[in-house]
Structure 1
Amino acid sequence: MWESIFLTLAATAGNNIGKVLQKKGTVILPPLSFKLKVIRAYAVNKAWVIGFLMDIFGAMLMLRALSQAPVSVIQPVSGCGLAILSIFSHFYLKEVMNAIDWMGITLAGIGTIGVGAGGEEQDSSSISIFQLPWLAFIVSILFVLLNGWLRIFKRQRREQEMMDFEVVEEIIYGLESGILFGMASVISKMGFVFLEQGFPSMLVPVCISISICCSGTGFYYQTWGLKHGRAIVVSTCAAVASIVTGVVAGMLALGERLPSAPTARLSLLLGWLLIMIGVILLVSSARLMRHLPWPLRQVIQSGVDRNFTPRRSVSQRAKDPSPSAIIQASTLHNLISSSAKEKA
């Protein structure tokens, strides 16, 4: 189990740090397109190439982890990617972190230890190939309800001639993207379970292909919400929905269960809870700092300034509530821009 935990941490570190390096490389690069000159420019950019390879390597490690451990363990641990990204941004990009950031990282780390200690190998002998269509049907019904709810609020906003997104719309986009991210892991795991049960090996690439489609669609929903709404709301809902979906769908569709021992069960449940709280704190740390009482905020801020003043001069911009979300949104924006130029 611990091997799968470490693989997941390495995978999510590769994914998130890879996106940071790709974003750093694209600063001096043109929008991505299929033109030979543009492709050559990307291929010779050291930061972008390293980031791309780390991203791909992280995806391969994630598939390896999913083949070894329950998705109800892997998916919550993958939520620690934001904590790893924050640490990397602090030491590599010289971004200043406040006390709430460090608290979120600590809780996510403790939660990961709890999940590793409480998780156990699962027997998936009762899985049926017919559960995949049922899973797709349930998710489709859920999306019909969420999109119906979304249309209602959009119509109300148009009737009232309001330009800004309502918080409910931000929540819906975050939930939809998070559900798809969680389902991507579940479907990938289902392919490996089918292989263990003696089903045709072709089901593995089929499930992985469906998983990639789910991730891409979730990426679209998240980027749409980030473009028109607030990153803090969309990213928080996406992170929590991804963890909850992975756990619930893993138990319902893959037959995963809680540990039988009370201590292990409590450790796993607390681990899930601490990881979610840690992720929420990391996403909303900047906003939470603004709502703290002024004396307490001044004490925390003075401690940060005293410890990290030399680094602040390197990066003066304020810390975004969700660095990974903004990185993803910026990357997709480059792709959309290049696509629009080609059509023009």
Structure 2
Amino acid sequence: MWESILLTVAATAGNNIGKILQKKGTIILPPLSFKLKVIRAYALNKTWSIGFLMDIFGALLMLRALSLAPVSVIQPVSGCGLAILSIFSHFYLQEVMNVVDWVGITLAGFGTIGVGAGGEEQQEMVALSIFHIPWLAFVVSILFILLNGWLRIYKRQRREQEMMEYDVVEEIIYGLESGILFGMSSVISKMGFLFLEQGFPKILVPICLLISVSCSGIGFYYQTRGLKHGRAIIVSTCAAVASILTGVLAGMLALGERLPSAPKARLALLLGWLLIITGVILLVGSTRLLRFITSRQKRSNMEKNYGPRRSTTSRVREPSPNSAVIQASTLNHLLSSSSKEKA
């Protein structure tokens, strides 16, 4: 189990770091096209080439990890790629990390250990049916029909109200759609390996891998649509959480994966899932969360500083009853002294 965990961590590190290197390399490159001159420019760019090879190598490691362990273990651990990406950006790209980032990385790390410890129990192999693929496709189609129907309703309301800005519901829907497809990609890849182990025709393996690649491609399409107009924090968070939950639920329902029977192992696995999801949410929303906390602290400090000043000025402006008594006695004394002088 720990071998598959380490393979998953290495795979997701290769995928995320590879994409960052490719993005950095494209700064000085022209838009990608099928022209020979453009392809040659990309191939000769050292940064982009290294990133591309790391991305491909990470994908191969992920397939190897899926062939060794349940997808309900692999998919949550793949969420730690964001933590690895943050560490890489801190040391390589010299990006500053705040306290929330380090907390998210720590939680994701402990969550990975929990998933590895809870998933050590060997699970019995469940006989699969080739009809699981159409069944999964039907469930995903129903989900997408519901999500797209919800999306159309909100788009129509936005047009009727002449609102130009994206609504948060649209960002959530695009994030959920992309995350569901990413999770299903891992599930279908694992299904192909299980078909091979159980003596099904070998042609099913490339078919499952082709469907898996298609799901990933469509998922990137939906994620790009959400990131183009929406906020990255909401789209990325929904995509990451939906990918983990989809992989876990589909793995249990379609592939027959089960929670460990031992109470301690089951608790470790569930706690690991929770820590990884929490860590991913903190890493995605660390900047906004820290900004919110800072603004609340500044507001409270301003209220504390403004309160004593206001009370001081009110005490200066409003005379006390004692001062009024002193002024009245002084006036009476002056009146009595003036009357004596007249007499």
Same structural fold, with TM-score higher than 0.5 when normalized by the shorter chain: yes
Match of 1:247 in 2: 248
Q: Mean Cα displacement is larger for which, 285-294 or 165-174?
A: 285-294
On the 8 A contact 1:70/1:121 being kept in 2, the answer is no
Match of 2:166 in 1: 165
* Residue type at the aligned position of 2:210: S
* Residue type at the aligned position of 2:261: S
For the pair 1:52 / 2:61, whether they are aligned, the reply is no
Structure 1 spans left out of the alignment, 5+ residues: 298-344
Match of 2:66 in 1: 66
For the pair 1:227 / 2:228, whether they are aligned, the reply is yes
CA change 1:293–1:44 in 2 (3 A) is closer
CA change 1:157–1:64 in 2 (3 A) is same
Identity %: 81
Q: Mean Cα displacement is larger for which, 55-64 or 113-122?
A: 113-122
Deviation at 1:121, TM superposition (A): 3.2
Give deviations 1:138-178, integer Å, cap 9, x for gaps: 11001000000000000000000000111111000000000
CA change 1:230–1:61 in 2 (3 A) is same
For the pair 1:26 / 2:18, whether they are aligned, the reply is no
Task: Give the structure-2-normalised TM-score.
Answer: 0.85
On the 8 A contact 2:126/2:255 being kept in 1, the answer is no
Match of 1:269 in 2: 270
1:189 is paired with a residue whose SS is helix
Measure, in 1, the Cα distance between the counterparts of 2:289 and 2:296. 14
For the pair 1:189 / 2:190, whether they are aligned, the reply is yes
Structure 2 spans left out of the alignment, 5+ residues: 299-343
Q: After superposition, where does 1:1-344 map in structure 2 within 5 Å?
A: 1-119=1-119, 120-293=121-294
Q: Which has the larger radius of gyration?
A: 2
Measure, in 2, the Cα distance between the counterparts of 1:114 and 1:160. 48
Q: Which runs of 4+ in 1 moved over 6 A?
A: none
Measure, in 2, the Cα distance between the counterparts of 1:184 and 1:296. 44
Deviation at 1:228, TM superposition (A): 1.1
1:126 is paired with a residue whose SS is coil
Give deviations 1:76-126, integer Å, cap 9, x for gaps: 000000000000000000000000000000000000000000003332332
Measure, in 1, the Cα distance between the counterparts of 2:13 and 2:31. 25
Task: Give the structure-1-normalised TM-score.
Answer: 0.85
Measure, in 2, the Cα distance between the counterparts of 1:214 and 1:266. 32
Match of 1:322 in 2: none
Q: Mean Cα displacement is larger for which, 275-284 or 115-124?
A: 115-124
1:271 is paired with a residue whose SS is helix
On the 8 A contact 2:127/2:198 being kept in 1, the answer is no
* Residue type at the aligned position of 2:271: L
Deviation at 1:131, TM superposition (A): 1.1
On the 8 A contact 1:251/1:257 being kept in 2, the answer is yes
Match of 1:330 in 2: none
1:27 is paired with a residue whose SS is helix
Measure, in 1, the Cα distance between the counterparts of 2:62 and 2:187. 12
Bigger relative contact order (CA 8 A; separation at least 6)? 1
Note the aligned Cα RMSD (angstroms). Answer: 1.3
Deviation at 1:296, TM superposition (A): 6.3
Measure, in 2, the Cα distance between the counterparts of 1:197 and 1:268. 27
Q: How many residues align?
A: 298
* Residue type at the aligned position of 1:142: L
